[in-house]
Structure 1
Amino acid sequence: MPDKEFGLTGELTQVTEAIFLGESNFVVNPLHIILESSDSQKLKFNLIQWLAESPNRQIKSQRKQAVADTLGVSTRQVERLLKEYNEDRLNETAGVQRSDKGQYRVSEYWQEYIKTTYENSLKEKHPMSPASVVREVKRHAIVDLGLEQGDYPHPATVYRILNPLIEQQKRKKKIRNPGSGSWLTVETRDGKQLKAEFSNQIIQCDHTELDIRIVDNNGLLLPERPWLTTVVDTFSSYVLGFHLWIKQPGSAEVALALRHSILPKQYSHDYELSKPWGYGTPFQYFFTDGGKDFRSKHLKAIGKKLGFQCELRDRPNQGGIVERIFKTINTQVLKDLPGYTGSNVQERPENAEKEACLTIQDIDKVLAGFFCDIYNHEPYPKDPRDTRFERWFKGMGGKLPEPLDERELDICLMKEAQRVVQAHGSIQFENLIYRGESLKAYKGEYVTLRYDPDHILTLYVYSCESEDNLEEFLGYAHAINMDTHDLSLEELKALNKERSKARKEHFNYDALLALGKRNELVEQRKEDKKEKRRSEQKRLRSASKKNSNVVELRKSRAAISSRKNEHQEVLPERVSREEIKLEKIDPQPQENISPQTTDTQQEQRHKLVVSNRQKNLKNIW
């Protein structure tokens, strides 16, 4: 925001009051965010980051409105900024990036020609100035291509295309690669330069999938290769800790590797380690690549509690120290072990799967012995007068750091979740109901849950951080009716998934039965409705004919016609052959019979007696 909006004390107080909503609602005091912000883009980034770290929906809604009031924008715009922050498109220094940033309206031919001209001058050790490149572009357009004024790039366009190349060349001259001099500097993604001046100041961490196949405890080949997480000191390239995994690690695995590097090492006698191994927390920075696990809220929360800041490296070569260790492991350790697959197809042994016989515990012993007794005590590459351990020890001031309490560190490294305390001190988490006697007094309040992924049936309940940034331990919450069980988070999620699948299948069958019954009921109600409609229609028709005498007239006429026909003889419907008496008629010559005589005879033979009732009905209708 402009400086004039924050210049006066009264306006600053008004803005901070708009942000601050309650003592128990926020983790960070917004006043500190505003005071630490030097420009509007950094202020916007810090406020959106503060919004993204909201522990629950209620606080997130309050913070969203506070950020909108502070920035003077709508809440919909704040939601857009939050989406860009979650997608890593919101920059701390440059603000919101345009969708067409880095694209130029000039043709690709001119872009390529400008870049090629400048890069060729760098290769020839005679770098051209931007003005010289502009003159070369103008000469090429007019002399070689025969173009006129306005048909080739403007000098300002040439400068915009050259600026990224010039800045990159300046950084290469200014910053040395890690391990290339007496002092080491790495560059973060947002452009900050971190200079390693002592041990444990900048700790680097990374993962890799080892080039070796392993078996389980029963000797069966595992389908996955093991993953290795290493924690290395930038100042001395000293390996502070490592950890092995079966699957690709996440933020919880990074926390365990960090735990191994922070605490003093405790190995059993079968590891046969003979030399000391350093330890300690990161003093200032935790330097990693841009993986999802390193950008998680879990790791940022750990850094906030332990006092270090998580930073992402700008380019892959900034992590050369930790990346180089992986190649060293392959060439010096794994290459001679059974099951080694090689780093590329050409070097891959044919019988790696058949020869595999080592378990992950065996690999852990091998790597622990290599890091502790060999790698950490080899001469430091840039200063062979000292070993890596000696350089690290000197960088620590000649003394080992004070070890942290193991129990407190474990709680600090746990994952967190926010929940509301329900009736009787109950908390719902991962489809289980937890209950703690000490939580009854906090009904309806938000609390912070910390849990161990390997033992999920017990939760550590803390109060939410207040303005003074202090938490209070409220007690334990145990899963109801699960006292004799012990489940990990993965096992609990698998059970929930199976339960949900079974419930879904059961519900689908019941839903089909209910659908059939519902259709039958609907059809029955439709027929009942039609029947009621017909009966009602008939009643209405009858009601409309109350004053009509058509029915009585019809009945009277029918009675009269029946009385007249009492003595009338009617031809029976059926007459048997015995009852019919045929009269014998003498044959006469055909020529003497006239047509009129023939018709009269036929009428007499077939003449029927018609009742008077039918005549009367005919007259009526």
Structure 2
Amino acid sequence: MAASNGHQLKRRRFKLTPGTSVIMDGDEYLVKEILNEKECIVKNISSNSADIVAISKLIEHASSVTSHLMPAESDLDNISEADYRIAKDRLEAIKPLLEFDQPRKSDVRLRAAEVDCHYTTLYNWLRAYQSTKALTSLIPKRRGWNYNRKRLDNDVNAIVEHYIENLYLTIKQPSPKKVYAEIKSACIKAGLTPPHQSTIYRRIDRIPEEKRLRGRGRIEEANNRFSIKAGKFPGANTILSVVQIDHTSVDLIVVDEDTRQSIKRIWITVAIDVFSRVITGIYLSLDAPSLTSVAMCISHSILPKDKWLKYVGIEGEWNVWGYPKKIHTDNGADFRSINLSDACASNGIDIEFRPVKKPNFGGHVERYLGTFAKKIAELDGKTFNRSNKRETYDPEKHANMTIDEIEKWLVNAIIEYHHTPHSSIGVAPVTQWKMGIEGGSGIMAAGLPEVPDDPLTLELDFLPKALRSISGQGVVWDNIHYFSDGIRHLIGHRDSNGKSLKYIVRRDPRDIRKVWVYDPFQKLYHEVPYADPTHPYTNKWELDEAKRYLKSLDDKTFNESAIFRAIENMREIEEQARTKTKKARRNKEAHARRKKQASPAKIYTGNVTNNKNASTDPVVNNETGGTDDDIWGTDIEGFEIE
């Protein structure tokens, strides 16, 4: 797609059911019967012939059907405070009806009476939300452009957080109105412009319910609602009801791809479905956990994995996909970010944080990571938590696997684990997953999980964002200029206070050669490259290193040209030091990994030009050249998790 055309946000979800119409190779097919989680029977409308096809193939084709008929979605950050609250109220109104696959008219009428609105209005809200599961579908539809969301500066934000933590979340239980009055007074005394009242109400509304109850002294109610009962996680009564996500450092020394010398350890992010214990998604990186790690893991978790398995060069089945109803995490800063909360809200996903000092709330994913660590301990290059256990073993001397090879090993281990009986649920995770789809003893059939109509929209929602104005020189982020004709019409607009209008800008930190600029007039994202096309590839980590490098030279007024000269100098220094220091080898390998690591959305949509590992259908990497040999097999011992 040309950058000037932009990318419209489409949050429609697709669920394969009998009667679904699918276009494949120019012919229309009708789904007649779902045979199992892998295959179904379809009928060719023109020839009247029937055939059995893979569900993964149908999903690949069906995800684009009727998408052009769907209205463009808004970015959640482009919604006013008032509209956000209205959308939240509408969601609360229809929530009881979402428990029914097909609510009866009497159910709708009864609920409409309870919330004091006409039943046709309630039905329209229900239908709009069911088509996307996105909060944005419940925003009031108005003509014209609405861009009145305000951001708080750091000083005001500090005051807001102080009064929420030290006044609202106390046993005094003050009303939001009282909290706002105190915040307003404190801002005026400090010579700052107070935030709007609705901004504070929205911030309070985002507080997790358990934190709200405990902070305001309602401990018993919080325990009754959120404490785990023996042997059962609350709410995990079917597939994708609750997905837990966590990170861990892999206790294995990694080698770089060219010299096979050690570059220390890597990080893995894992998502696990609590009901079935299947692993729904992963992400490996040489970088410490961040919002990017979480975003890529969630994208990988939601999307089908057939193409991704082929991309990494693995023959096997991982028939797990779908939107989680709730994501359960620890209290790390990467999970606590407003960006992640907004992205989840945009996609109809609740996010819940583990209570402090209650590790049993995250036990499922942590037990898997613990078992995974035991399997790692069987490999060459393993490390030890204590030096006295290491004795004479030298992990760096025995290390022999690159990060791509570890990724292959891990995926094969996951596939093996999925087919190994699980001690807690009594069957293999893949069997429990299948029972969740088809139904079983005491288990209600959920049907095939939903997939996104537009994977790129899903990815954009989770990318880090900033607010930037647009001038004749384009968009500036971290001293780097971006420009394209697609954003020319956004130059010069001002808000109601006469200040330059700021636009939502997103980027993938692993490759900052382009940004995505949200156009609130056309309700789409423009893909905007470097203003200077001669600049080389770089990423956020390398950019930050270059800035630190320039500051170490007492260059405090550096510009874009100086940054890229510094990047080139650093690369030359690292290349010379590569055979001598692990840090240099690690930096070079990390940059190479970021550059060639395609996102799950790009792989799923086919918008990637390489297969980074040799497979039955190898493709040359246009950026790095060549393909990697598949140097290890799939013979992995089975294991189980509690």
TM-score, normalised with respect to structure 1: 0.53
Aligned equivalents of 2:155, 2:434: Cα separation in 1: 45
Structure 2, gaps ≥5 residues long: 1-77, 94-147, 161-175, 188-193, 438-444, 494-500, 559-642
SS of residue in 2 equivalent to 1:418: strand
Relative to structure 1, the CA distance from residue 387 to residue 446 in structure 2 (aligned partners, 3 Å threshold; closer, same or farther) is: same
Structure 1, gaps ≥5 residues long: 1-22, 39-52, 103-162, 187-194, 508-621
Relative to structure 1, the CA distance from residue 33 to residue 370 in structure 2 (aligned partners, 3 Å threshold; closer, same or farther) is: closer
Relative to structure 1, the CA distance from residue 349 to residue 267 in structure 2 (aligned partners, 3 Å threshold; closer, same or farther) is: farther
One of 505, 510, 524 as aligned partner of 1:449: 505
Instruction: Name the count of aligned residue pairs.
Output: 382
Aligned equivalents of 1:271, 1:246: Cα separation in 2: 20
One of 362, 370, 393 as aligned partner of 2:413: 370
Give the deviation of 1:342 after TM superposition.
Answer: 3.5
Relative to structure 1, the CA distance from residue 168 to residue 484 in structure 2 (aligned partners, 3 Å threshold; closer, same or farther) is: closer
Aligned equivalents of 2:292, 2:150: Cα separation in 1: 19
Give the deviation of 1:220 after TM superposition.
Answer: 5.2
One of 341, 355, 371 as aligned partner of 2:398: 355
One of 263, 266, 278 as aligned partner of 1:226: 266
Aligned equivalents of 1:399, 1:31: Cα separation in 2: 31
Relative to structure 1, the CA distance from residue 325 to residue 33 in structure 2 (aligned partners, 3 Å threshold; closer, same or farther) is: closer
Aligned partner of 2:151 in structure 1 is 56
Aligned partner of 1:210 in structure 2 is 250
Matches within 5 A, 1:262-301: 262-265=302-305, 266-268=308-310, 271-282=313-324, 284-301=325-342
Relative to structure 1, the CA distance from residue 72 to residue 168 in structure 2 (aligned partners, 3 Å threshold; closer, same or farther) is: closer
One of 466, 476, 486 as aligned partner of 1:428: 476
Q: Is the 8 A contact 1:91 1:97 kept in 2?
A: no
CA-based RMSD of the aligned residues comes to: 4.4
Relative to structure 1, the CA distance from residue 244 to residue 420 in structure 2 (aligned partners, 3 Å threshold; closer, same or farther) is: same
One of 440, 454, 477 as aligned partner of 2:488: 440
Aligned partner of 2:517 in structure 1 is 461
One of 339, 355, 359 as aligned partner of 1:316: 359
Give the greater-gyration-radius structure (CA): 1
Aligned equivalents of 2:384, 2:320: Cα separation in 1: 31
Aligned equivalents of 1:398, 1:69: Cα separation in 2: 45
One of 326, 341, 365 as aligned partner of 2:369: 326
SS of residue in 1 equivalent to 2:244: strand
Aligned equivalents of 2:553, 2:223: Cα separation in 1: 61
| One-letter amino acid of the counterpart of residue 431, structure 2 | E
One of 439, 452, 464 as aligned partner of 1:415: 464
SS of residue in 2 equivalent to 1:458: strand
Matches within 5 A, 1:178-217: 180=231, 184-186=232-234, 195-217=235-257
Which structure has greater helix proportion? 1
Relative to structure 1, the CA distance from residue 306 to residue 365 in structure 2 (aligned partners, 3 Å threshold; closer, same or farther) is: same
Aligned partner of 2:290 in structure 1 is 250
Specify which structure has the bigger relative contact order, considering alpha-carbon pairs within 8 angstroms and separated by 6 or more residues. Answer: 2
Aligned equivalents of 1:339, 1:308: Cα separation in 2: 39
Matches within 5 A, 1:591-606: none
Matches within 5 A, 1:378-527: 378-384=420-426, 386-396=427-437, 397=445, 399-404=447-452, 405-422=454-471, 424=472, 426-442=474-490, 443-444=492-493, 445-463=501-519, 472-473=523-524, 475-483=526-534, 485-502=536-553, 504=555
Aligned equivalents of 1:321, 1:452: Cα separation in 2: 30
Relative to structure 1, the CA distance from residue 350 to residue 505 in structure 2 (aligned partners, 3 Å threshold; closer, same or farther) is: same
Give the deviation of 1:453 after TM superposition.
Answer: 1.7
| One-letter amino acid of the counterpart of residue 372, structure 2 | I
Give the deviation of 1:228 after TM superposition.
Answer: 1.5
> What CA deviation, in whole Å up to 9, does each residue of 1:238-260 have, x standing for no partner?
11111222232111111111122
One of 72, 76, 84 as aligned partner of 1:29: 84
Give the deviation of 1:498 after TM superposition.
Answer: 3.2
Relative to structure 1, the CA distance from residue 463 to residue 218 in structure 2 (aligned partners, 3 Å threshold; closer, same or farther) is: same
> What CA deviation, in whole Å up to 9, does each residue of 1:520-578 have, x standing for no partner?
xxxxxxxxxxxxxxxxxxxxxxxxxxxxxxxxxxxxxxxxxxxxxxxxxxxxxxxxxxx
Give the deviation of 1:409 after TM superposition.
Answer: 2.8
Give the deviation of 1:475 after TM superposition.
Answer: 2.6
Relative to structure 1, the CA distance from residue 69 to residue 458 in structure 2 (aligned partners, 3 Å threshold; closer, same or farther) is: farther
Aligned equivalents of 1:394, 1:227: Cα separation in 2: 32
SS of residue in 2 equivalent to 1:213: coil
SS of residue in 2 equivalent to 1:294: helix
Relative to structure 1, the CA distance from residue 271 to residue 318 in structure 2 (aligned partners, 3 Å threshold; closer, same or farther) is: same
SS of residue in 2 equivalent to 1:379: coil
| One-letter amino acid of the counterpart of residue 309, structure 2 | Y
Aligned partner of 2:184 in structure 1 is 75
Aligned equivalents of 1:436, 1:346: Cα separation in 2: 59
Aligned equivalents of 2:301, 2:396: Cα separation in 1: 32
SS of residue in 2 equivalent to 1:321: helix
Give the deviation of 1:395 after TM superposition.
Answer: 1.5
> What CA deviation, in whole Å up to 9, does each residue of 1:262-290 have, x standing for no partner?
222222388443334312221x2110011
